[in-house]
Amino acid sequence: MAMGIQWNKPLVLGTSLVGLLFFTYVSYSLLTRRSEPTHQLKMFKTWKRRETRSLPEDIEAKSEKVDVKVKERTFTYQSQEVKLHYLEASPASEPKLHILLLHGAAFSSKNWEEIKTLHLIAAMGHLAIAIDLPGASKSKTKGIKISDRADFLDTVIKQLDIKKPIIVSPSMSGGYSLPFIMGSNSETCTDRALGFIPVAPVGTDNYKPVQYNRCQLPTMIVYGDQDSGLGLTSLGNLRNLPNSEIFPIKGGSHPCYLDEPEYWNKLVYNFLLEIESDQNSK
């Protein structure tokens, strides 16, 4: 009589049960797992739509002719008189975009004039305003409490009649720009600004990844690859902004825009091109 296959019933039943449990677990996990942030999955496009371009010769020529004006605005903020010193570079016609440039603790608005960023912005047809923050350089104003800095920046924007700005914010100025942009609800960040160029700003640890994930503001993250302090810390946090792109400056220190001003201006030029194109398409 032919020998049949001898089945080990306990083993078969046990194996089937393990398989069933594993299938149930995997199915449940797929149905209930939390989605990864979309920018980590790279399932959508950011503000960057084209390859980085060099500055055109006509823009460089126009930059040389831009006149940067020194200005001062006096107003009252929380019962104290504010004398705000700032530099302004305007285009010949109605500006297309408004760019507000802040500065780090050891720096001032003058730096943006020295490296020709103000000239470039105006040559592109935009308004460039670089302010001296309270307690810095030529602004005759007492320091502003940390809790009031977002409100102070909002007041400055209104006082200078800046329309939904693109904010350039290195180092210490993050204490003003980040709370202004993120606000009490980061999901509404695009109501307050049109774009953001942070350069190793302070204060990025004050927000959780989920708060950054909700902010769709077009952001160009710039940092010096030799800045092992704020550069890496801010990068680790800001990269959670879903509509952001990262641009390290090779060999750059903390104020990397001063190390490589030509490359910095090239980055600014390309970011503004993208934002302008996006605005024109709406």
Give catalytic residues, as residue numbers. 171, 227, 254
Phi-psi region of 158 (alpha: psi -120 to 50; beta: other; left: phi over 0): alpha
CA distances from residue 151 to 134, 145, 183 in whole angstroms, order as listed: 13, 10, 10
Burial status of residue 271 (CB atoms within 10 A of its CB: 0-12, 13-18, 19 or more):
buried
User: Is residue 196 within 8 Å of residue 170, measured between CB atoms?
Assistant: no
Quick count: other Cβ atoms within 10 Å of Cβ 85?
Answer: 21
The number of residues making up the chain comes to 282
CA distance 58 to 120: 11
At 23, which helix (H) or strand (E)? helix 9-32
- Three-class DSSP category at 169: strand
